[in-house]
Structure 1
Amino acid sequence: MRNTEESEGFDGEASNTSMISGASSPYQPTTEPVQSRSVLGGIRWDMEYLRSYFGILKMVEVLLSLFGFVCIETIKMCSPCGGVYFFEFVSCSAFVITGFLFLIFSLNLHIKVPHVNWSLTDLVNTATSTVFFFLSSLVLVCINHNTEAEIASAVFGFLATGVFGINTFLAVRRWRLGNGCQAAAQSSEYMRARTASRGEMEARPELG
C-alpha cells in the first residue's frame, strides 16, 4: 500500500511539475492558424512612394503609355504603316517596362533584390522612353492622315514625352546627389581613419 501511495504521489508530483514547466516553457504550441500565414508576407504598398513625385510621375507615365497604345490600336488602315508600327512598339514597351518598375518600387520589391541597381535601371528606362516617344510621335505627325486615332496617339505621345522628360531630369539629379553623398561619406571615412592612424603614431613612445 505504501508503495502504491508513493508511486501515486510521485505521479502526481510529476504531472504537476510537467504542467508548471509546460506553462513556463517558451516553446508553446502556436495557436495561429496555418491559413493566415501568407507566402508574400512583408510585401505591401509603399504609400510614401505613391505620394512622392516619382510615384505620381510613374503612374502618369503608365496611363499615358496605355492611352497612346489603345489609340494607335484603333487604326484599321494605314499607308504607309511604319510610323504606326513604330509608335505601337514604343507605347507598348513603355507601358510594360514602366508598369513593371512601378510595381517594383510600389511594393518595395527592390529592397528584396539589392544586387540590381534599380535607380540606374529606372533612369535608363525613363531616358530611353523620352527619346523614343518623341521620335515616334514626331514620325506619326509627319506621316499621319489626320484621323482622330492618329491625332490622339500623337497627343498622348508628346504628353508622355514631357512626363518622361521631367522624370529623367529628377532621376539624374537624384543619381548625382546620391553619388555626391557617397563620395563625401567615403572621403569622411578616409579622413577619420587617417586621423586615427596619425594619433596612434603620435601616442607611441619613441625608441631610445
Structure 2
Amino acid sequence: MRLATLMLAAALAAPACAQTASGPEKATAAAGVAKPATRVPTEVRRLTILVRNMENSLKLYRDVMGLTINYDQKLTVSGVSLPAGQPGNPVRLVLLNGNDPFIGWIGLMEYSDPPLEASDPYPKRLKAGGHVLILDVDDAVKRCGMAKNVPGVHFTAEPRLQVYPGRNGGPDIKVMGCNFFDPDGTMIEMNQIIAQ
C-alpha cells in the first residue's frame, strides 16, 4: 500500500501554475493560465502523507522546503474513515502550508503504538497508482542540495533546466528542478519557474 493518502493533482501537478518569486499573477499570466470565468465546485486543499518518522519528515518539509507548521496535534483515529492502522491508534498530525492560508497544504501523519507497517521494498521507480508531488520553491538548486542531507531521501534526477511547450502558443515554460523520493517513498519534483 502506498503511504500517501490524497493527491494534490490540480494544485501541484502542473509546473506552470506554480508561484514564482515575482508573485502568482506573473507566473500564471506567463504560463497562459487564465482564472476560470466561473468558480469550479472544488478546491484542492491538502495532500496527507503517512510517515515513518515525523521528525525526519519535518527536516524535509519544514526545514528544506520552508513550509510553515499551522497544526501539530496528537489524535486518536478510528481506523475506519482512513483505512490504516487499528481502531484507537494514536497518531500525530502535522499540517504545513506555503504562501496560501487555505489551499496547497501538506499533512504529515505518524502512527504509533503500534506504528504502521512500512512499504517494502522502498520504491525506486513509479508504477500505476503512484503519484508525484510538485512543489515550487524560491531556489531549486539550493533546496535540492539541502534535500540530499535528509536521511532516507533518494534522488532520481539532479537539478537541471527543463523546457516545456507554452500553452496556447505562448512562450516556452522554463523550469529548474530536481526529483527525489522522500523518506517514505513519495516522489517529489521540486521546481523553480525561470522568468520568461
Instruction: State the TM-score, normalized to the length of structure 1.
Output: 0.21
Which structure has the highest helix share of the two? Answer: 1
